[in-house]
Amino acid sequence: MAVILDLVVQGLQMLLVLLLAPLLTGLVRKVKARLLLRSGPPLIQPYRDLARLMRKEVVLADNASWLFRVTPYLIFAATWVAASLVPTFRTGLLFSWSADLIAIIALLGSARFFLALAGLDVGTSFGGIGSSREVMIASLAEPAMIMIVFTVALIAGSTQLSTMAGFLVSSEVGLRVSLGLALVALIMVAIAENARIPVDNPATHLELTMVHEAMVLEYSGRHLALIELSASLKLLLYLSLIACLFVPWGLVPSGAAAGMLVIGIAAYIGKLAVGGSLLALFETSIAKMRVFRVPEFLGAALMLGLLATLLLFVSRSL
Amino acid sequence: MTGAFDPLTGVLGVPVLAAALLVALPGYRLTATLNVVATFLTLLAAISLFFGRPQPSPYLLVDDLNNVFIVLTTFVGFTTSVFSASYIGHELEIGRLTPRFLRFYHAMYQVLMFAMNLALVANNIGVMWVAIELATLTTVLMVGIYRTHEALEAAWKYFILGSVGIALALFGTILVYMAARPVIGEGLDAMTWSVLVTRADAFDPALLNVAFVFLLLGYGTKVGLAPLHAWLPDAHAEGPTPISAVLSGLLLNVALYALLRFKMLLAVNTAALAPGPLMVTMGLVSLFAAFMLYRRRDIKRMFAYSSIEHMGIITFAFGMGGPLANFAGLLHMTMHSLTKSAIFFAVGHIAQVKGTQRIADMGGLTETNPVLGWGLVLGVVAIAGLPPLGIFMSEFLVVTSTFARAPWLAIVLVFGILIGVAALFLRLNAIAFGEPRGPTAEAKASYVPMFAHLALVFVAGIYMPPALVAWFQNVAKLLG
Amino acid sequence: MRGLTFDVAHLLAGSLVLVSFLELYQDRLYALLNLFALHALVLALSVAWQAYIQDAPHLYVTAAIALVFKAIVIPVSLHRIIVRLGIHREIEKVVGVGPAMLLGMGLVALSMVVMLRVTAEADPLAREDLAFALSVVLLGLLMMVTRRNAVSQVVGFMSLENGLVLAATGAKGMPLVVEISVAFSILIAFIVIGIFLFRIRERFDTVDLHALDRFRGERG
Amino acid sequence: MVLLALACAAVLIATAALALLLADAARARVLVYGACLAVALVLLLIALLALLGVSRGPLAATLPLGIPWLGAHFRLDALAAFFLAVVSLGAAAASLFALGYGRHEPAPRRVLPFYPAFLAGMTIVVLADDAFTFLVSWEFMSLSSWALVMAHHRVGDNIRAGYVYLIMASFGTLALLLTFGLLAGPDGGYAFADMRGGHPSAALAASILVLALIGAGSKAGLVPLHVWLPLAHPAAPSHVSALMSGVMTKVAVYGFVRIVFDLLGTPAWWWSMLVLALGGVTAVMGVLYALMQHDLKRLLAYHTVENIGIIFIGLGLALAFKTHGMAWAAALALTAALLHVFNHSVFKSLLFFGAGAVLTATGERDMEHLGGLIHRMPQTAFAFLVGCAAISALPPLNGFVSEWLTFQAILLSPELPSWGLKFLVPAVGALLALSAALAAACFVKAFGVSFLGRARTPAAARAQETDRFSLAAMFSFAALCLIAGIVPGVFIDALAPVVQALVGDRMPVQSGVEWLSIVPIAESRSSYNGLLVFVFMVLSGALAAWAIHRLASDRLRRAPPWDCGYPDASPATEYTAASFAQPIRRVFGTVVFHAREHVDMPRPGDSRPARITVELRDLVWDVLYAPIADGVAYAADRLNHLQFLTIRQFLSLVFAALVLLLLVLAIWP
């Protein structure tokens, strides 16, 4: 019985993230538009776009290889699996132990790996620009992320997201400098990873500034739809990661009554809404930086993460 | 006595007879064959020593120490004569040697064999001294045999330095006698090994010290220890290659053997100064002949310097003393003479194929003459002390046993070895690999001697016959 | 008697050292050769004396060799060479007389120190003899080192060898002394012949060893 | 058992001798490599049996060889068995690959005899149980691989590669010689059994550890002793490169583990910091070097350096935990290191096979001349891709597992009492993460530039798929990458006896855990399940594909690439390896390599092409090796004058020596 419930919950979560992701993207766009005093597209616009793209035929470059066609599905699968393993509204998901936080990050890493390859596949110069910049960003973002994981994991004594959330929600944590540092670092990394301003501009097609968009330049139709969807999933994932690590309140502990789940879901959606709006606010209030400023930005994140960890080691020993 | 008298007469008599014959007989083929046969007979006689040793007579002695060296000497002498047969043939063709000199050459070769064997079996320090002087003079004549300016110069240099060495060694010998006389009494006994060793503990230590200093320098000149080595490279480079092989492979050993004999005396006499430090110092100094390898342009001269380096290692080992190091030293002597002579065989053929000794004019040998080239590579690998060949075992024992006792010495030693290895392979790459240079005619020669030596070295690196081990360990004890 | 024998032996040995010093000082070839002849003469005397006091007749042979071969044959032939090579001028030295002398003094002192460490029960005669012999050897070597000219180097070598013979004969009852002295005479003969050879085949215009060292392998 | 293994080695040597005789014969290739394959498989079986502890017969033997009074000792304990398994697995695959690859060998005489000898050397090293046998086989291994490096001695600067390799190898061997000298003591207890008995003092243990680090590290390629590796590994024929990179470096690791964890007692804790720091530096430096390379095989060689760094990080952690008596944590770290040893041997061999296939198909090692190979050689491309993903530590492949375990071990380090480690370990963790991310970047470059895009040269355009033997070798290892990635528990349990023997504890048994997931310490702390992740990804990907193709469209049209509207047919406009690495070079290279870019931009109207040249400097070489070389050269020049003195000057040398010695006597007490 319990197993059945767990299965249901796990399924629910997978469905939930999949459905919420485009909405979040839509929300961010809407809020940005409003902040710029435009009416902006409706919230469900992303769904429409996806549907349209799905129905369109794929226009494939002549020399695109099988890798180019497989990649969208790979990326989608990896991102979706990752997203569905992050506790969103309930800890202790059935399969949460099949991959801890490090593994989740690695999953996103493999998604990026293949996307970067796809960018090189057609052999156009823009694809090259995109992937080379992407890997440069990733080469700094990933260590920063690992450092953040260290910090939180050392506090929670685990890299298991459910355990972490469970520990962090408990009162014994208290306020810690390293947690603050980790939060700032995590936000910076999240911005970089999701190709948001100031690191990258999801809306632009101005060649010299774009990173992510340049990689997927050659994609069209359902492939493009999958990539867009995975991008929204990734954004969602990072928001819910921040939520479950730093604002874990409202997370329903495992084995709670089914009724509680509604509250949990509501709380989760609320967090997403707030997070999305904050992101929009941030994006409208800052200008995009040059590509070669990005390393400094991420280097700062890395340093913050390392600092947080070291502080932790020291405070642990005192 | 009489029953066991035969082997020694063989070892000493055959060369004398052969020399007499060779002076008389004309004709290249005949003399060369006779030379081979004579050395072979000597070898047989020497081998028979393994089975029956004669009682020590006042003049002659065979014991664990020299038994091995006698066989080694006669063996290398035999293989070298085989090599020399083909080598000299080529020299005749290109007219570097006239038949007259050839006759002289073969006779001298036998005299040299006789002298070295005599030096080894002598039970009397005076006789030993005479024998070594004789060996020196013969080699001087053979080094100069090409009559070129360089050859004569090398011979002259060898001659002068050698004579001084001989003089010093003689003084040392006299001093030993002086030290022995009060104990043993006047006369022959005071110069006889088997007696000296037993009574050496009562000798006057101060006299022994002075004696050892002179002997170290005197015979050390023959060994080629730096800074007494000057004659060695040129003598190797300018003489006929068989002589270079015999010099490096045997004569250096014989001189060192003499040195060891005297070291035994000091080892017995506790009051005398420990010869160790002196030998260790000279060994290390010679070891850095390795630096001289880098700038060599002449292939034979290069390997001559490598001989100096190895003599340094051996002297170092004996200087360190102790069962392990002494064993290693003895092993290293044997292995080095086999390997180095093999290398000189290869070098001789190479020089004949390429028509020069300049390293710059050789190259890609493993392409053009695979057998010769790989033979040289194997030889250099062996001489560089890389396993699984024999020299590695001795170097292993020396370094490990030293490092536990005197770390810094061992580290210096290791660096010396490394520098030598680096230099050797720097040159080897130029000779054996890369684009072929120079004439590439196939050498018409028998590679049997070379590969016979290398095979022995290879086997010894993996398996050593217990009898040999027993002898070496026995001697190692005596050496203290 | 004992005292007398000792004194005479001592005198002769000492005078040998003295002659070596004279050689070291002398830098004219002719004079040098004459000095060497004297050196050999003194040696012969001292050997003969040893033969007498040790009543070892075979030593007379050695003395005879020294007298005939070293004191007469060699100097004469070297004279010939010098004449033929036309090098009877001054012989340039590496170090001046003064320093050479000082060095020689130092060497004699050194050999004394070394030898007197020998415990006394080795009979004093032998000790003294050895000390002198050692200094003669060292002086001879010093001479070889400080002269450039082949002939004077040969002289140096021969006086070195005289020192050896002195030591050998001083060693009471040492066997093979004769043989050894013979062997050495052969050695010297070789050297002299060598000089002859180099002269005869017109390869070196002078016996100055610089000429021999023109190549020294691999130069150029 | 061990005798059987030795017999196999003997067979290998016999094969070498045979190959010497008939290397020119037509079938020699098949004969030699076939024999090697068979023997390697037998060895693998032996190793596995011994490792799983179900072996028959004695596990130790002594032959009357080597040092006479000592004999040659051999022993097949768990550690030896594990490394023997690694060696023989790599050997088997390489031989299989070579069955096809060897056909393109221009000089079989220079390869066939040495290849089996090389295998025999590595086999005997792991079996050896006394110092002499160990060193002999160790150097024999180096020597035979040197001969293989010199196989194509007329190509490029292979001679220099071989030279540097040999010198560094001798250097390492001499360092190990000193190590054993210390371990054995003055009376020469050369058998490992005797060494285990002795308990060296702290200072002695420290120097032993440092010497072992130098000796084994120089063979494994630890920075700064790595210089020979990227020269020598690419120079050899590709199947040998695979062995050298994938297996021989592991033998070096074996040497280090054997000496430090087995023979040496427990050194003072701070020496683990040295190992850790070196490991971290090596990992990052290695991958940065690799990113700057355009030569495919050299890039792979530099990645070996990186992975060696990762392994030594694990070993350093294990040492740190062990010295603090935290056996359970040490077990985790050591398991991680050993698992990475296995994983790296698998995917690095796979990658070198791929590089070899490309080399034979196109004759090119320079990535700038490749491109588009995925169309011409799809199977090779696929296998190579798997290898790239595995070495980039992407789940669900095997590379990720070992790095994940290492991270878990790092997360245990706050328990360490000593301060130095508290500060060092997180930094090392950051370095590890950095190297992992950079590795991914580097292999995007490697695969993307050489296999994707459009062919940059006719050679690349004409490439043909490689032969079936090579493909078999590659695909079997690709499969192994996946299996080791999704069921790591099996491998961890197999390693348990080794770890137990070395640090006295083991990781929890994994076979019991449900769903085949791995739990290093406790379920609540961390767990990973490659199988489930794999299944999930396959399912969701398939689901998406099915749903879209069913419910939406599956139409597809080929067209020229869009490329923002101005497509250019010329492959010259493709991103090159250099341009791909440029951002990272700007970020790291300016510091690490003093990277300088010189742009030569012609004036307007000038038809001359613009040029950008990048100048990199290898600081390790400049700082460490160049001075030594100069010093030796200087000394050689100075001393060389001794050759040219006059006879009189030589005489004065003798004279001086004599006087000196007499003076010594005079002042002798």
Mean pLDDT over each residue of chain D, to the nearest integer: 90
Of A276-285, B44-53, B271-280, C182-191, the range with the highest mean pLDDT is: A276-285
Helix (H) or strand (E) holding A58: strand A58-61
Measured in angstroms, the CA of B122 and the nearest CA of chain D are apart by 27
User: What per-residue confidence (pLDDT) applies to A207?
Assistant: 60
Q: Has residue B218 been placed in a domain?
A: no
B422 chain-D contacts, CB cut-off 8 A: 167, 170, 632
Q: Do chains B and A touch (3 or more CB pairs under 8 A)?
A: no
Whether residue B127 contacts residue B121, with contact meaning beta carbons closer than 8 Å, is answered with: no
D658 chain-C contacts, CB cut-off 8 A: 138, 141
Q: Has residue D453 been placed in a domain?
A: yes
User: What per-residue confidence (pLDDT) applies to C186?
Assistant: 80
User: What per-residue confidence (pLDDT) applies to C120?
Assistant: 59
Mean pLDDT over B186-190 rounds to 85
CB contact (8 A) between residue C167 and residue B129 = no
For the beta carbon of residue A191, count every other beta carbon within 10 angstroms.
23
Q: Has residue D213 been placed in a domain?
A: no
User: What per-residue confidence (pLDDT) applies to B2?
Assistant: 41
Q: Are residues D497 and D361 in the same domain?
A: yes
DSSP structure class, residue A90: B
Of B4-8, B159-163, C168-172, D236-240, the range with the highest mean pLDDT is: D236-240
Chain D 549-608, residues with CB within 8 Å of chain B CB atoms: none
Question: What is the band of A318 on the pLDDT scale with cuts at 50, 70, 90?
Answer: very low
Whether residue B384 contacts residue B425, with contact meaning beta carbons closer than 8 Å, is answered with: yes
Mean pLDDT over C186-204 rounds to 63
From D156, D144, D264, select the one nearest D211 (Cα to Cα).
Answer: D264
CB contact (8 A) between residue B191 and residue C175 = yes
Q: Has residue D401 been placed in a domain?
A: yes
Q: Has residue B387 been placed in a domain?
A: yes
Task: Search chain A and give the residue with CA nearest D542.
Answer: A73
Whether residue C174 contacts residue C56, with contact meaning beta carbons closer than 8 Å, is answered with: no
> Does B249 have pLDDT greater than 50?
yes
Longest dimension (CA), chain B: 69
Q: How far is the C-alpha of D151 from the C-alpha of D663, rounded, in Å?
A: 56
Mean pLDDT over D244-261 rounds to 95
Whether residue B321 contacts residue B279, with contact meaning beta carbons closer than 8 Å, is answered with: no
Of B272-281, B446-455, D181-190, the range with the highest mean pLDDT is: B446-455
Residues whose CB is less than 8 angstroms from the CB of residue C52 and which lie 6 or more positions away in sequence, other chains included: none
Q: Has residue D485 been placed in a domain?
A: yes
C180-206 as b/e: b if 16+ CB within 10 A? bbbbbbebbebbbebbeebbeeeebee
User: What per-residue confidence (pLDDT) applies to C80?
Assistant: 83
Q: How far is the C-alpha of D549 from the C-alpha of D555, rounded, in Å?
A: 9
Q: Has residue D378 been placed in a domain?
A: yes
Q: What is the CA radius of gyration of chain D?
A: 27
Whether residue B166 contacts residue D654, with contact meaning beta carbons closer than 8 Å, is answered with: no
Interstrand relation of D60-63 and D72-75 (parallel, antiparallel or unpaired):
antiparallel
Q: Are residues D495 and D643 in the same domain?
A: no
User: What per-residue confidence (pLDDT) applies to D178?
Assistant: 92
Distances, alpha carbon B257 to alpha carbons B215, B395, C28, D610, in Å: 12, 19, 43, 73
- The residue with tokens 């528990």 is D489
Chain B 258-317, residues with CB within 8 Å of chain D CB atoms: 273, 278, 288, 291-292, 294-295
> Does C118 have pLDDT greater than 80?
no
Per the structure, the count of domains in chain B is: 1
Percent with pLDDT over 70 in chain B = 99
Task: Search chain A and give the residue with CA nearest D558.
Answer: A60
Q: Has residue C188 been placed in a domain?
A: yes
Decide which of D548, D579, D595 is a domain's last residue.
Answer: D548
Q: What share of chain C is helix, strand, coil (3-state, %, to 5)?
A: 75, 0, 20
- How do residues B377-426 score in pLDDT, each as one tens digit? 999 999 999 888 889 999 999 998 888 788 899 999 999 999 999 999 99
Asked which of A3-7, A302-306, B222-226, C72-76 is least confident by mean pLDDT, the reply is: A3-7
Q: How far is the C-alpha of D595 from the C-alpha of B379, rounded, in Å?
A: 44
User: What per-residue confidence (pLDDT) applies to A200?
Assistant: 84
User: What per-residue confidence (pLDDT) applies to C122?
Assistant: 56
Length of chain B: 480
- What is the SS3 assignment for C174? coil
CB contact (8 A) between residue A120 and residue D449 = yes
User: What per-residue confidence (pLDDT) applies to A197?
Assistant: 83
The answer to whether the predicted template modeling score (pTM) of the entire model surpasses 0.80 is yes
Decide which of D548, D564, D595 is a domain's last residue.
Answer: D548
Instruction: Identify whether A198 is preceded by a cis peptide bond (ω within 30 of 0).
Output: yes
What φ, ψ does residue D599 adopt, rounded to 5°? -100, 130
Question: What is the band of B254 on the pLDDT scale with cuts at 50, 70, 90?
Answer: very high
Measured in angstroms, the CA of D633 and the nearest CA of chain C are apart by 18
Question: What is the band of C89 on the pLDDT scale with cuts at 50, 70, 90?
Answer: low
Residue A44 CB-density burial (10 A; 0-12 exposed, 13-18 middle, 19+ buried): exposed
From B15, B268, B3, B237, select the one nearest B121 (Cα to Cα).
Answer: B15
Task: Search chain B and give the residue with CA nearest C119.
Answer: B204
Higher per-residue pLDDT: D665 or D145: D145
User: What per-residue confidence (pLDDT) applies to B307?
Assistant: 95
Structure tokens at D249: 């470096």
User: What per-residue confidence (pLDDT) applies to C40?
Assistant: 93
Q: How far is the C-alpha of A63 from the C-alpha of D560, rounded, in Å?
A: 8
D647 touches chain B (CB under 8 A): yes
User: What per-residue confidence (pLDDT) applies to D630?
Assistant: 94
Mutate: best of B133, B163, B293, B305, partner C, most C CBs <10 A: B163
B153 chain-C contacts, CB cut-off 8 A: 212-216
Q: How far is the C-alpha of B71 from the C-alpha of B82, rounded, in Å?
A: 17
Asked which of B4-13, B34-43, C157-166 is least confident by mean pLDDT, the reply is: B4-13
Measured in angstroms, the CA of A142 and the nearest CA of chain D are apart by 6
Tell whether the torsion through CA atoms of D334, D337, D341 and D343 is positive or negative: positive
Q: Has residue B357 been placed in a domain?
A: yes
> Does B237 have pLDDT greater than 70?
yes
Mean pLDDT over B365-375 rounds to 90
Q: Which chains pack against C, by 3+ Cβ pairs within 8 A?
A: B, D
Q: Has residue C218 been placed in a domain?
A: no
CB contact (8 A) between residue D646 and residue C153 = no
Structure tokens at D542: 């398939």
Higher per-residue pLDDT: C38 or B4: C38
Q: Are residues D630 and D490 in the same domain?
A: no
From D412, D410, D455, select the one nearest D433 (Cα to Cα).
Answer: D410
Residues whose CB is less than 8 angstroms from the CB of residue B281 and which lie 6 or more positions away in sequence, other chains included: B319
Q: Has residue D417 been placed in a domain?
A: yes
Whether residue D386 contacts residue D422, with contact meaning beta carbons closer than 8 Å, is answered with: no
CB contact (8 A) between residue D393 and residue A106 = yes
Residue C96 CB-density burial (10 A; 0-12 exposed, 13-18 middle, 19+ buried): exposed
User: What per-residue confidence (pLDDT) applies to A171?
Assistant: 64
Q: Has residue B249 been placed in a domain?
A: no
- How do residues C10-58 score in pLDDT, each as one tens digit? 888 889 999 999 988 887 888 888 999 999 999 999 999 888 888 888 8
Measured in angstroms, the CA of A229 and the nearest CA of chain D are apart by 11
Q: How far is the C-alpha of C98 from the C-alpha of A257, rounded, in Å?
A: 116
Full residue range of the structural domain in which residue C105 is found:
2-212
Of A250-264, D241-255, D595-609, the range with the highest mean pLDDT is: D241-255
- How do residues A159-215 score in pLDDT, each as one tens digit? 888 888 888 887 666 667 888 899 999 999 999 999 888 888 877 666 666 788 888
Whether residue B351 contacts residue B336, with contact meaning beta carbons closer than 8 Å, is answered with: no
Q: Has residue C220 been placed in a domain?
A: no
Residue from the list A125, A305, A306 with its beta carbon closest to the beta carbon of D574: A125
Whether residue D123 contacts residue D88, with contact meaning beta carbons closer than 8 Å, is answered with: yes
DSSP per-residue letters across D141-193: HHHHHHHHHGGGTTSTTHHHHHHHHHHHHHHHHHHHHHHHHHHHTTTT--BHH
What φ, ψ does residue B50 adopt, rounded to 5°? -60, -30
Residue from the list D136, D140, D163 with its beta carbon closest to the beta carbon of B426: D163
Full residue range of the structural domain in which residue D642 is found:
619-667
Strands (E) located in D11-83: 60-63, 72-75
Q: Which chains pack against D, by 3+ Cβ pairs within 8 A?
A: A, B, C
D563 chain-A contacts, CB cut-off 8 A: 122, 124-126, 217-218
Q: How far is the C-alpha of A185 from the C-alpha of A193, rounded, in Å?
A: 12
Measured in angstroms, the CA of A132 and the nearest CA of chain D are apart by 5
Helix (H) or strand (E) holding D140: helix D131-149
Higher per-residue pLDDT: B147 or B243: B243
DSSP per-residue letters across D81-117: HHHHHHHHHHHHHHHHHHHHHGGG-S-GGGTTTHHHH
Task: Search chain D and give the residue with CA nearest B371.
Answer: D20
User: What per-residue confidence (pLDDT) applies to D668?
Assistant: 74
Q: Has residue D50 been placed in a domain?
A: no
Whether residue A189 contacts residue A38, with contact meaning beta carbons closer than 8 Å, is answered with: no
Helix (H) or strand (E) holding D539: helix D530-551
Per the structure, the count of domains in chain C is: 1
User: What per-residue confidence (pLDDT) applies to C20?
Assistant: 92
Percent with pLDDT over 90 in chain B = 48
Q: How far is the C-alpha of C176 from the C-alpha of D396, rounded, in Å?
A: 91
Helix (H) or strand (E) holding D599: strand D596-600
Measured in angstroms, the CA of D173 and the nearest CA of chain A are apart by 37
- How do residues D168-201 score in pLDDT, each as one tens digit? 999 999 999 999 988 888 777 889 988 887 778 8
Q: Has residue D184 been placed in a domain?
A: no
Higher per-residue pLDDT: D278 or D604: D278
Decide which of D487, D513, D548 is a domain's last residue.
Answer: D548
Residue from the list D110, D190, D654 with its beta carbon closest to the beta carbon of B228: D654
- How do residues D587-641 score in pLDDT, each as one tens digit? 888 888 888 888 888 888 888 888 888 888 888 888 999 999 999 999 999 988 8
- How do residues A40-70 score in pLDDT, each as one tens digit? 899 999 999 999 999 999 999 888 999 999 9
Chain B 165-184, residues with CB within 8 Å of chain D CB atoms: 165, 168
Question: What is the band of C202 on the pLDDT scale with cuts at 50, 70, 90?
Answer: very low
> Does C102 have pLDDT greater than 70?
yes
D657 touches chain C (CB under 8 A): no
Percent with pLDDT over 70 in chain D = 99
Q: Which chains pack against A, by 3+ Cβ pairs within 8 A?
A: D
Structure tokens at C207: 């016996």
User: What per-residue confidence (pLDDT) applies to C155?
Assistant: 87
Residue B26 CB-density burial (10 A; 0-12 exposed, 13-18 middle, 19+ buried): exposed
D652 chain-C contacts, CB cut-off 8 A: 145
Full residue range of the structural domain in which residue B379 is found:
276-480
Question: What is the band of C142 on the pLDDT scale with cuts at 50, 70, 90?
Answer: very high
Asked which of B51-65, B302-316, D39-53, D328-342 is least confident by mean pLDDT, the reply is: B51-65
Q: How far is the C-alpha of B23 from the C-alpha of B104, rounded, in Å?
A: 6
- How do residues B281-306 score in pLDDT, each as one tens digit? 999 999 888 899 998 889 999 999 99
Residue from the list C133, C190, C203 with its beta carbon closest to the beta carbon of B149: C203
Measured in angstroms, the CA of D642 and the nearest CA of chain B are apart by 8
Question: What is the band of D136 on the pLDDT scale with cuts at 50, 70, 90?
Answer: very high
- What is the SS3 assignment for C93? strand
Question: What is the band of D399 on the pLDDT scale with cuts at 50, 70, 90?
Answer: very high
Q: How far is the C-alpha of D260 from the C-alpha of B90, rounded, in Å?
A: 58
Task: Search chain B and give the residue with CA nearest D173.
Answer: B386
D611-645 as b/e: b if 16+ CB within 10 A? eeeeeeebebeeeeeeeeeeebeeebeebeebbee
User: What per-residue confidence (pLDDT) applies to D289?
Assistant: 93
Distances, alpha carbon D284 to alpha carbons B215, D222, D310, in Å: 60, 11, 9
Q: Has residue C8 been placed in a domain?
A: yes
Structure tokens at B126: 């005076």
Per the structure, the count of domains in chain D is: 2
